[in-house]
Structure 1
Amino acid sequence: MPLVLPGEQISAQHVNLKLGPGLLQQPSVDGKSPIVSTRAGELHHSANRSKWWIDSNSRRYVPAPQESVIGVVIARSGENWRVDIGSAHVASLDGLAFEGATKRNRPNLKVGSLLYARVSLAHKDMEPELECFDAQTRKAEGFGELKGGFLINCSLRMCRLLMDPSHFLLPLLGSRFPLEAATGVNGRVWINSKEPRHIIAASRCIEAVDPDGGGMDEAGVKKFLSSMDV
């Protein structure tokens, strides 16, 4: 993947173009809206070239619209909740931003509750906003409160690897034992299984595969799981 520096123009074009972290579309000039990089890193795009982003070794998550994140409720503010998503600013979650939510029927979230949410609004001068449904279908589609399980903190790079369907780790773990998982691009992974030993095994494997940690490959993970009798 090509390396880019801040300020470089990116030739990203698509009918349904979506820009991720590190890319910014500037105001239109002479009918053109150039896309420039805002950070140094590797330029990536999806298989159909509709999604573009820059992968850098950043330690802090920078919110971008449409991204999936895992947040922790830290306070209630009127009819809204304040949610920590690991970014510079706390995010806001409207009480009606859930499937089927009404003024009389709202989720009963408490301080410390975990959420799998989508960033609906992100701007460098504003607090990010979250919602717990798919914007097109208005259905939960897996978003909402995460009950039970265990939260793992890892690198932003590791989260993007886990969200790639072709990555080996989650399918490998799922072939060994029943496992639920939710991955946020903000450096957090939630896993759940009926047996605590399986949760421990999954969390240790994620830490071992993390490029900022051990960087273990598939063969190493299989050997690692065998040593734990899983």
Structure 2
Amino acid sequence: MSAVLPGQQVPAQHVNLKLGPGLLQTTGSANGGPPPSASIITTRAGTLNHSANGSKWWVENNSRRYVPAPQEGVIGVVVQKAGEGFRVDIGSAHSASLDGLAFEGATKRNKPNLKIGNIVYARISLAHKDMEPELECFDAQTRKSEGFGELKGGFMVRCSLGMCRQLLDPKHFLLPLLGARFQLETVVGVNGRVWVSAKDAREVIAVSRCIESVDPDGGGMDEADVVNFLKTLGV
């Protein structure tokens, strides 16, 4: 990892290169000459990251405003029914569109009956600066739901984007710690939202408060702090 500023060139090269948030591929030619090879530049300040094999590159920074990027999993709230689909708030500058057929096994006669206020876990299928984002509730390769779709019951916790990325790291301590104490079900979206379902409301509140307390924007508690915090809650 290394710190970068907007406009810096990134040495990202791979036969199956995929660019995540904060990176842009540019091409161009000078004085009408032959086009040079594509270059990758950063569009925001943060920390440059890449996968182990170098096929995926992205820039991380801790912010509240989510910028949609293709293939990312997000948690959204249905805010409007629009024709044959829905408009969904995903925490970005613009609402996303979700087609009524963008679900596993959905047909014109058999579509999900989502209502305003329902929570969905979806994948961003289209993200462009000049277009509203589009969502799908199935895996792009298998066409199966793979966990995407309506999230029934539970409670949605809002946190920083950095906190969500930490929770998606299998090595992070929080979710395994909470899962050992509670009958817990969680879904983490990269857009600063976590859906939590537990046995009763008291446990849901305890889990939610732990997530907020570990969040770098909310105190940044470590594992020992969380254990002591749970004792004060009596759970």
Q: Report sequence identity in percent.
A: 72
Quote how far apart the aligned CAs of 1:11 are. Answer: 1.1
TM normalised by structure 1 equals: 0.96
TM normalised by structure 2 equals: 0.94
Q: Give the one of 117, 123, 129 matched to 2:128.
A: 123
| Corresponding residue pairs, total | 230
Q: Is the CA contact 2:27–2:36 (under 8 Å) kept in the aligned structure 1?
A: no
| In 1: Cα distance, 2:26 partner to 2:203 partner | 47
Q: Is the CA contact 1:182–1:190 (under 8 Å) kept in the aligned structure 2?
A: yes
Name which of structure 1's ranges 111-120 and 215-224 shifts more when overlaid on structure 2: 215-224
Q: Is the CA contact 1:43–1:54 (under 8 Å) kept in the aligned structure 2?
A: yes
Q: Give the one of 208, 224, 227 matched to 2:229.
A: 224
The corresponding residue for 2:97 is: 92
Say whether residues 1:15 and 2:15 are aligned partners.
Answer: yes
Q: Is the CA contact 1:28–1:34 (under 8 Å) kept in the aligned structure 2?
A: no
| In 1: Cα distance, 2:28 partner to 2:199 partner | 53
Paired residue type of 1:101: A
Instruction: Mark the structure with the bigger radius of gyration.
Output: 2
Paired residue type of 1:91: A
The corresponding residue for 2:68 is: 63
| In 2: Cα distance, 1:39 partner to 1:3 partner | 11
| In 1: Cα distance, 2:28 partner to 2:101 partner | 34
Q: Give the one of 122, 139, 146 matched to 1:141.
A: 146
Q: What 5-or-longer segments of structure 1 have no aligned partner?
A: none
The corresponding residue for 1:44 is: 49
Quote how far apart the aligned CAs of 1:28 are. Answer: 6.3
Report the secondary structure of 1:172's partner residue.
Answer: helix
How much is the aligned-residue C-alpha RMSD, in angstroms? 1.3
Q: Give the one of 141, 155, 164 matched to 1:159.
A: 164
Q: Give the one of 96, 100, 111 matched to 1:106.
A: 111
Paired residue type of 1:191: V
| In 2: Cα distance, 1:31 partner to 1:189 partner | 43
